[in-house]
Amino acid sequence: MTPQEAGDLELLAVLTLPGIPRSVRHARCFLRDTLVPNHISPAGELLDDMTLVVDEFAGNGIRHTASGRGGKIHIALWAGRGVLRAEVSDEGAAGRRPVLCEAPDGESGRGLHIVDALASRWGHRADGDGTVVWAEFAT
């Protein structure tokens, strides 16, 4: 994130994890451990929403990118006035980026619709060969 994109956001913490399925659980724990109790209530809907979004981003990064083939993912948490931001960076998918499917069918394609419903706003940006997927939540 460039300083201009960050605006008044402060980086709270970053965690690097191996691109393996059990890292998704560690990403959820990292989010909870970093944000509770100073930034978010442990019993609040906001924590559940953010946890679900980070779970989706981390899982996608491991399933659909080079991160899941011996690479890593990075989780970054940011806080600003009235906003929390979660980012998950992966090692890339041959130039493909996350896309919100118009009509998800079957077992896949629904996750980003959930993200879209829960986050105040979300998006992605290229980071070299990799991708950073981010979501913001009003506090």
CATH number of the domain that 88 lies in?
A: 3.30.565.10
In a domain, 44, yes or no: yes
In a domain, 46, yes or no: yes
Find, among 68, 89, 66, the residue nearest to 22 by Cα. Answer: 68
In a domain, 3, yes or no: no
3-state DSSP percent of the chain in helix, strand and coil, to 5: 35, 30, 35
pLDDT classification of 49: cutoffs 50, 70, 90:
very high
On whether the pTM is more than 0.85, the answer is yes
Residue range of the domain that includes 59: 10-138
In a domain, 4, yes or no: no
CA distance linking residue 128 with residue 136, whole number of Å: 22
Residue 5 predicted with pLDDT over 70: no
pLDDT attached to residue 95: 84
In a domain, 5, yes or no: no
pLDDT classification of 1: cutoffs 50, 70, 90:
very low
> Mean pLDDT, the chain, as a whole number?
91
Query: What pLDDT digit, counting tens, does each position of 72-129 carry?
Result: 999 999 999 999 999 999 999 988 888 777 766 666 668 999 999 999 999 999 999 9
Query: What's the average model confidence in pLDDT over 23-32?
Result: 98
As for how many domains the chain has, the answer is 1
pLDDT classification of 10: cutoffs 50, 70, 90:
very high
